Amino acid sequence: MTHTASPIIDISEVQTGVLQIRMQDYQHKNLFTHDMSRALIEAFNTVSADSTCKAVILTGFDTYFATGGTQEDLLMLQEGHASFSDNNIYALALECPVPVISAMQGHGIGGGFVMGLFADFVILSRESIYTTNFMKYGFTPGMGATMIVPNKLGAYLGNEMLTLAKRYRGEELKQRGVPFPVYQRAEVLPKAIEIACELAEKPRISLIKLKDQLTRTLRKELPVYIEQEVAMHAETFRQQEVKENIERLFGR
């Protein structure tokens, strides 16, 4: 079974019980355009409602996993016309009832990397770039990054990543001891499929109950972090320096 949710999101059945969501916005390199955000929400609604689904693989195309907010949306946030909390795409994997595997075969930038970290299993590629680049522009992180990045990467590396806004190749993160596998790009999706097929051997209700238990603390704490991040944005986003940085540095 193959179902194309939209031209930029493809949902396919890898095997019985395993669905793959592939982000494939070739024009915008998997930026979180309004169309991509809507399509992602619809895709996760589709797989969550599928009573036969036991595991979900989230992946991108070629060298891109997900590359974060658009310049237009960042400028709207800077001008106070929107908030990242208006559109909850960041925690879709966390809220999905069955386990989600982020097969980050390509670059994960800003909110794109953060979204991937909300999955139950994370796989990176050695060649790809991963960064939480919010502070590159001068505004504090959002999308639950202040919670999930230190939680998944460890306090020291997570805080470093959020504060310095550096770019890291997957190979460097592997050497720094990230607690999830890092493979050659061509191996990422096959390894994700292996995990998903192992999950599909288990009863669906058992997978749902266990995920609910394992993620309960994160789901309870996330709204608190989101509220705090929105409050920080009210103070940090409106700076003129931030606007200039978004206009000058975006895409670099």
Q: CA-to-CA distance for 137 and 115, rounded, in angstroms? A: 19
pLDDT higher than threshold 50 for residue 49: yes
Q: Which of 31-40, 81-90, 159-168 has the lowest mean pLDDT?
A: 81-90
For 117, list phi and psi in degrees, rounded to 5: -70, -20
pLDDT, residue 166, reads: 96
In-domain check, residue 167: yes
In-domain check, residue 233: no
Annotated active-site residue 233? The verdict is yes
Q: Are strands 64-66 and 168-169 parallel, antiparallel or unpaired?
A: unpaired
pLDDT, residue 211, reads: 98
Mean pLDDT for the stretch of residues 167-174: 98
Q: Look at the chain and report how many structural domains it folds into.
A: 1
The DSSP result for 89-106, as a single string, is -TTHHHHSSS-EEEEE-S
In-domain check, residue 26: yes
pLDDT, residue 81, reads: 77
In-domain check, residue 211: no
Mean pLDDT for the stretch of residues 202-214: 98
- Crossing angle of helices 71-78 and 240-249, in 10° steps, is 170
In-domain check, residue 65: yes
pLDDT, residue 221, reads: 97
pLDDT higher than threshold 70 for residue 3: no
CA 250 centroid distance within chain: 19
In-domain check, residue 31: yes
pLDDT higher than threshold 60 for residue 185: yes
In-domain check, residue 92: yes
pLDDT in tens, 69-116: 899 989 888 888 777 777 789 999 999 999 999 999 999 999 999 999
Contact 192, 57 (CB under 8 A): yes
pLDDT higher than threshold 70 for residue 1: no
What is the rounded end-to-end Cα distance, in angstroms, of the chain?
39
User: Residue 57 sits in which domain range?
Assistant: 2-186
Mean pLDDT for the stretch of residues 211-217: 98
pLDDT higher than threshold 80 for residue 63: yes
Q: CA-to-CA distance for 11 and 46, rounded, in angstroms? A: 9
In-domain check, residue 141: yes
Mean pLDDT for the stretch of residues 140-166: 97
What percent of the chain is predicted at pLDDT more than 90?
Answer: 88
More confident residue, 69 or 119: 119
pLDDT, residue 172, reads: 98
Contact 56, 94 (CB under 8 A): no
Q: Model confidence at 215, in pLDDT bands (50, 70, 90)?
A: very high
Q: Which of 191, 192, 194, 188 is nearest to 57 (CA)?
A: 192
CB atoms within 10 A of CB 142: 25
The CATH number for 97's domain is 3.90.226.10
Mean confidence (pLDDT) of the chain: 94
Task: From the candidates 3, 28, 34, 233, give the one annotated as an active-site residue.
Answer: 233
